[in-house]
């Protein structure tokens, strides 16, 4: 278990890093660390659960299949209903972006 | 709905401020803003749901009935099982402390 969400970030990040903080029947909370990573170029995330996400540090962009695109910086949060297709199109390549995501049904 | 969890904090805080961000059947996510506030002096929080809490800004202390006391600063997080009796014994009086709390069953 990571002790602090903003400290001791991984030095190298060949892929996005996911750490699970809460894993219960109806809810999962995870920390995601990105550094220039985006979703795979092909396809969309189509999730069976609702997601609520907040950026704690850094900056990222989330695009939806319907054309909406949102840029999130520290403190910005976003609710993504189940099955609303989306992808991360950009994260800051110069610094770590730390996301906190709550998945729930 | 508040657009950013760290901006536009209330100027005056006679009491702690609670804003609900997610309100679903099995999970509630709320932002709490404290400025020197503590739990009521008498009694303990005894919650029917589990809680996971992280400090986004500022500093606060949580004490448990069993004697454990934890100080949390930005990025520090804590899981509080249902019915583990606890209270907030101190928050920084000089700046806003912003907590994010996930209550779940």
CB contact under 8 A, A56 and B56: yes
User: How many C-beta atoms surround the C-beta of residue A18 within 10 A?
Assistant: 11
The strand pairing partners of A30, in sequence order, are: A20, A101
Confidence of residue A5 (pLDDT cuts 50, 70, 90): very high
pTM of the complete model beyond 0.90? yes
- Residue spans of the domains in chain A: they are 31-104
Q: What is the pLDDT of residues A45-90, one digit of tens each?
A: 999 999 999 999 999 999 999 999 999 999 999 999 999 999 999 9
* Chain A nearest-CA residue for B5: A75
List residues of A whose CB lies inside 8 A of any B CB: 3-7, 21-22, 24-27, 29, 50, 52, 54, 56, 74-77, 79, 100, 102, 104-105
Mean pLDDT across the stretch A34-44?
85
Shortest distance, CA B16 to any CA of chain A (angstroms) = 19
Mean pLDDT across the stretch A4-22?
90
What are φ and ψ of residue A59, in 5° steps? -160, 140
Kindly state the percentage of chain A with pLDDT values over 90. Answer: 81
Confidence of residue A1 (pLDDT cuts 50, 70, 90): low
Residue B70 CA to residue B88 CA, distance in Å, equals 10
Mean pLDDT across the stretch A14-33?
95
* Architecture of the domain defined by A31-104: Sandwich (2.60)
Q: Which of B5, B27, B56 sits opposite A27 (nearest CB)?
A: B27
User: Residue A10 has what pLDDT?
Assistant: 86
Per-residue pLDDT for A2 more than 80? Answer: no
List residues of B whose CB lies inside 8 A of any A CB: 3-7, 21-22, 24-27, 29, 50, 52, 54, 56, 74-77, 79, 100, 102, 104-105
User: How many C-beta atoms surround the C-beta of residue A23 within 10 A?
Assistant: 9
**Tell me, what's the ipTM?**
0.92
User: Residue B39 has what pLDDT?
Assistant: 83
Contacts of A51 (CB under 8 A, 6+ apart): A79, A80, A101, A102, A103, A104
Residues of chain B predicted below pLDDT 50: none
């Amino acid at each position: 278990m990571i002790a602090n969400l903003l400290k001791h970030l991984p030095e190298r990040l060949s892929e996005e890093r996911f750490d699970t903080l809460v894993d219960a029947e109806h809810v999962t909370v995870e920390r995601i660390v990105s550094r220039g990573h985006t979703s795979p170029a092909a396809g969309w995330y189509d999730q069976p659960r609702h997601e609520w996400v907040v950026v704690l540090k850094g900056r990222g962009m989330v695009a939806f299949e319907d054309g909406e695109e949102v840029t999130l910086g520290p403190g910005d949060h976003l609710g993504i209903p189940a099955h609303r297709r989306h992808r991360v199109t950009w994260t800051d390549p110069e610094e770590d972006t730390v996301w906190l995501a709550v998945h729930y049904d």
